[in-house]
Structure 1
C-alpha cells in the first residue's frame, strides 16, 4: 500500500529536498521543448526518482517511491512552483545548474547513507551515492535529446566521490549523522560550483590523432 510519510528522518528530509531540486531542474530543462504540463511533470519525476530507483534495484529492495507517495507529491509541488514562479526562474540563467547541483549533493548523500545501512563496503556506498546523484539527470537529458552532463567535460560525478570520501572520514570520527550528511552534501555542491566557476574540466579523450580529417 502506498502511503504518505508522517514521520521522517533527517536523511528523508534531504531526500525530499533533493527530489524537489532535481524535479525543478528537469522541469526547467523541459521548458521550451514544446512539452505540455504533464510531460514536464514526467520529466521532473524521472529526474527525481531515476537515480534512487536504480540504486534500490541494485540493492534488491523495492524502489522507494513505490512505498511513499510523498515523492510524487513533491514533484507535483515542484511543477506548481515552476509554473507560478516561471518568470523568476527564466530570469535566473543558472537556475538549471543551481537546482541540479543541489539535487546532486543531496541525493549523493542519501544514496551513501541508504547503502551504508545495508551493510555494504565503503567503495560500494560511494558508487551507489554517485549513481543516486547522477543517473536521474542522465535519464532526463536522454529523454530531452541532450548530451548528458555526466558525459561532458564539466566535472559532474567526481564531486560525488569527493562527498563520499568526506562522508566516510566524518563517519569514522563518529560525527553526528546529520552533521556527516550535511558536510558530505556541502562538499559535493561546493566542489561542483568551484569546478564550473574556474572551468576545471577533465581532458577530452581523443584516440584518433590531431591530424585526422573528417
Structure 2
C-alpha cells in the first residue's frame, strides 16, 4: 500500500502542477508565474496539512516532490504555448489531482492515529487547498467556494476510505483505489452534467 500511495503522490503532484500551469496560461502569465502556480497548486494543500499536524513538511524532507512540480511546470508551460488548451482540461486535471490527494491526506491522518473526522478533514484540506491558493493567485473565485460539487466529492471520497478502512474487509490497495474512483467519478459527473449544490439566496435576489 505504501508503494501505491507513493505513486499516487507523485501523480497528484504532476497533475496539480499541470493544472496550475493551465490556470497561468489562461491568465497570460510568464514562465515564472506558471512555475509558481504549478508549485503552490501541487504542494499547497499538503504543506498546510503537515503544518497543522505538526509534522515535517513533505517536500522539505523529500525535495524531489518540488522538482517534479518545477519540471512539470516548465514542460507544461512550453507545451501549452503551442497548443490550444481548453478550460475543460484544467477542470479534468484538477479533478484527477483532487481524487488522488484526498486519499493521500486522509491516509496520513489515519496513519498518525487521528480520529476518522480529523482524517477526513485532512483529506479534504490536502485535496482542495492547493487549488484554493492557485485560484486566489490567478484572480479567480476558488473552486472550493463555488456552487460546483467539489468539496463534496472530496468529503465523500475521504469518508469512503475511512469507512472501508475501518471495516477491515478489503485490502488496503483496493480501499485506496475505490476511494480515488469514487471521488473522481463524483467530480467528473458534476462537470459532465453541470451538477451543483444549492446556493444561498438573500431577499428576492
TM-score by length of structure 2 reads: 0.92
* Structure 2 spans left out of the alignment, 5+ residues: none
Query: CA contact under 8 A between 2:106 and 2:120: conserved in structure 1?
Result: yes
May I ask how many residue pairs the two structures share in their alignment?
Answer: 203
Q: Displacement of 1:66 after TM fit?
A: 0.5
Deviates more, 1:169-178 or 1:39-48: 169-178
Which position in structure 2 is the counterpart of 1:179? 174
Please tell me whether residue 100 in structure 1 is matched to residue 94 in structure 2. yes
Partner Cα separation in structure 2 for residue 89 and residue 95 of structure 1 = 12
Residue 192 (str. 1) matches residue 193 (str. 2): no
SS of 1:71's equivalent in the other structure is: helix
Worse overlay, 193-202 or 166-175: 166-175
Match for 2:200 among 196, 205, 210? 205
Whether the aligned pair in 2 keeps the contact of 1:82 and 1:89 (CA below 8 Å) is no
The answer to whether structure 1 residue 47 and structure 2 residue 41 are counterparts is yes
1:138 aligns with 2:126: no
Q: Which runs of 5+ in 1 are unaligned?
A: 1-7
Runs of 4+ aligned structure 1 residues displaced above 4 Å come to: none
Structure with bigger helix share is 2
Conserved 8 A contact 2:31-2:74:
no
Secondary structure class of the residue paired with 2:84: helix
Change (3 A) 1:89 1:106: farther
Corresponding residue of 2:10: 16
Q: CA RMSD in A?
A: 1.7
When structure 1 is superposed on structure 2, of 184-193 and 32-41 the one drifting more is: 32-41
Whose Rg is larger?
1
Q: Is this contact kept in 2: 1:89–1:95, CA < 8 A?
A: no
Shift of 1:122: 0.5
